[in-house]
Structure 1
Amino acid sequence: MQALIRVIKVLLLIAVTSLPVWQLAYAAETSSSEMAQTETVNINTATAEQLSGMLTGIGEKRAAAIVAYREANGPFSSLEQLLEVKGVGEKVMEQNRDKMTLK
């Protein structure tokens, strides 16, 4: 009986001391995923590589078209102006609206 109580105490001690480690691991994981979700790209300064890497539905060709449009017409004055770029439609805009900035 004494041995059983000792085993239970050891198991409880292990459970209690490992809990903070799991909480820290979860907190670190949550923080990095939240940071990834809030990362934005400036469409007026980003390279084609940055645009294609950060925006959903924007591959190399669309990203190059965005940069070419910007170089030909100057900086974007609104996010909606992206709709003037060939290949960028409402769906792409909605998927990326929170990821893009003008500043």
Structure 2
Amino acid sequence: MVFIKKIGRTLLRFSQKVGAMPLACVAALAGILLGAFIWTPPLYQITYRPIATESFSMQELLQVDLNHADAQGLESLPGIGSKKAQLILDYRQIHGPFKSVQDVLQVKGVTQQMLDEWGDRVCIK
């Protein structure tokens, strides 16, 4: 409160020296600054709320679900290009979803060595 009284006295002296028009500009500026100073909460009062409520491991995020992946997702696996990805999609459409990761070996061109390379990067959900 004492701070505001000091500002008021300073504005009064300023208006006596320079006139009313500059005083109005200074008063408006002072009001804006005081409003920002008084109504802005300190940083320690701003609360942080995480958006995601579930936590995921990086491994889970990078896994490719063989039953739901599109061609681009399948192509992210080592040894799978656009042709093999399309073969996997066609097989899935004809025979239905894979029941296990090993079932993908029934797709022409997919080998056990490729499956070993994929390791934990593939899953069935």
TM-score range (shorter-chain normalised) is 0.5 to 0.7
Give the one of 64, 72, 88 matched to 2:94: 72
Whose Rg is larger?
A: 2
| Displacement of 1:50 | 1.2
Cα deviation for residue 97 of structure 1 reads 2.6
- The aligned counterpart of 2:74 is 51
User: What runs of 5+ residues in structure 1 fail to find an aligned partner?
Assistant: 1-33
Structure 1: 4+ residue segments shifted above 4 A: none
State the one-letter code of the partner of 2:83. K
Aligned match of 2:108: 86
Alpha-carbon separation, structure 1, partners of 2:119 and 2:104: 11
Q: Of 62, 73, 83, which aligns to 1:61? A: 83
Considering fraction of residues, name the structure with more helix.
1
**Which structure is richer in relative contact order (CA contacts within 8 A, separation 6 or more)?**
1
Aligned with 1:56: secondary structure?
coil
* RMSD, matched Cα: 1.3
Question: How many angstroms does 1:46 deviate by?
Answer: 0.6
What is the CA–CA distance in structure 1 between the aligned matches of 2:118 and 2:84, rounded to whole Å?
14
TM-score (norm 1): 0.62
Tell me the secondary structure at the aligned position of residue 74 of structure 2: helix
Amino acid at match of 2:113: K
- Cα distance in structure 1, aligned partners of 2:119 and 2:86: 19
Gaps of 5+ in 2: 1-56
How much identity, in percent, do the aligned residues show?
39
- Structure 1 distance, partners of 2:74, 2:95, is 18
Q: TM-score, normalised by structure 2?
A: 0.51
Instruction: Please say if 1:42 is aligned against 2:65.
Output: yes
Distance in 1, matches of 2:119 and 2:95, equals: 21
Following the alignment from structure 1 to structure 2, what is the Cα–Cα distance between the partners of residues 101 and 90?
15
